[in-house]
Amino acid sequence: MRRRTAVVLSTAAIGVAAAGVVVLTAPPASAATGCRVAYSVANQWPGGFGANVTVTNLGDPVTSWTVVWSFASGQSVTQAWNATVTQAGSQVTARNAGYNGSLGTGASTSFGFNGSWTGSNPVPAGFTLNGTACTGGVSNSPTPSRTPSSTPSSTPSNGVPSDAAWVATGAWDQWTNNGYTVINDVWGSGAGPQTIWARTGTNWGVVAEHPRTSGVKSYPHTGKTLNRTLSSLTSVRSSFGVTVPADGDYATAYDIWANNNAYEVMIWANQHGAVGPIAESYDSNGAVPNARNVSVGGHTWNVYRGSNGANAVFSFVRTSTTNSGTVDVLAVLNWLRTQNWWGDVTVGQVQFGFEITGTAGRSSFTNGSFSLDYS
């Protein structure tokens, strides 16, 4: 990675751009070397926070960048987007992603992260860009408080219910309760912040803010592991009830894995926006189903088969969307066997959640009730 020679700055200016936003400015020296960093705590909750960082290059153009700062109170980065972020002790290093390394004179780039904190969460005292300081004093600009108001609501402004038993922001954070495992599952590139919460393993939700770009960003879900062959199962039934936002690109879906992830079965209860199933062929209307209006498991579906390059994918997309219902999952799985699309497979995990490609700003998805029973 190319680095410019560090220049010692004798003066620096600092200002508060808005509440919760600290702007650190190093004015350009005679060699036109300098940088500006705007750091903001976008939201904060007990034990965690989300922050945004905007870097402006006031020096010569660069083809790659590294931003470094230190936390003063033991904060830790748990997840990041639009940059590769590592941490050693209190020092945090953010390096450009493959698509945003070029930064011309006067140009800016932004990245964000989720973090954990205890006690206090002060703004970092200084930053460097490729070894050049962008530092100044730190004002006492406010950040969102962790102290509840005197009359707290059941769902605070951050979208997390005050009676949640578990709250997390890490990409793979998970929690097991009463035989169900709830997982944040932020796995797609270009994802934004996502906070998961749960009262129980069957009553949970997420607050997500993902850019509306192509590609799935996350699949927060709950579920169980069966590890049973189809022929050994006499019943697999599930019920659900969800609340989803009015806008965005997402689907509410079961995701079922078999034969050590050689097969994936998706059962879509609803879909909204720019999302669609994997298929063998596509036309001007999108994916072309292999079978239409298939009545099985208590619902009517269009059925698609395809591959994501790693495993076969079978998708059952309900012909009309719904936010609640009961599905005879075993009947759906056995239908695949009658079509000779698979055999007496071993069913591994049965998951249910929200496959999110993008959101219209910060959006809440709630799984208010869920059950999965098998024998």
- Tell me: the pLDDT tens digits for 104-129? 888 888 887 888 888 889 999 899 99
Half-sphere exposure of 154 toward its Cβ, with a 13 Å CA cutoff? Answer: 1
Full-model pTM? 0.61
Q: What CA–CA distance (Å, rounded) separates 41 from 98? A: 25
Asked if 289 and 276 touch (Cβ cutoff 8 Å), the reply is: no
pLDDT of residue 205 exceeding 70: yes
What is the pLDDT confidence band of residue 42, given thresholds at 50, 70 and 90? low
Distances (CA, A) of 197 to 119, 185, 204, 219, 246: 21, 13, 6, 14, 21
E runs forming strands in 46-164: 48-57, 66-70, 76-81, 83-88, 91-96, 108-116, 127-129, 132-133
Question: DSSP characters for 301-370?
Answer: EEEEEEE-SSSEEEEEEESS--SEEEEEHHHHHHHHHHTTSS-SPEEEEEEEEEEEEEESSSEEEEEEEE
Q: What whole-number percentage of the chain has pLDDT above 70?
A: 84
Considering only 57-61, 218-222, 268-272, 303-307, which range has the smallest mean pLDDT? 57-61
- Eight-class DSSP state of 373: E
Distances (CA, A) of 44 to 15, 18, 26, 70, 196: 22, 16, 28, 19, 14
Among residues 194, 203, 192, 119, the alpha carbon closest in space to that of 161 is found at 203
What is the pLDDT confidence band of residue 33, given thresholds at 50, 70 and 90? low
Taking only the tens place, the pLDDT of each residue in 52-84 is 888 888 888 999 999 999 999 999 998 777 788
Please provide the average confidence, as pLDDT, over all residues in the chain.
84
pLDDT of residue 352 exceeding 90: yes
pLDDT of residue 150 exceeding 50: no
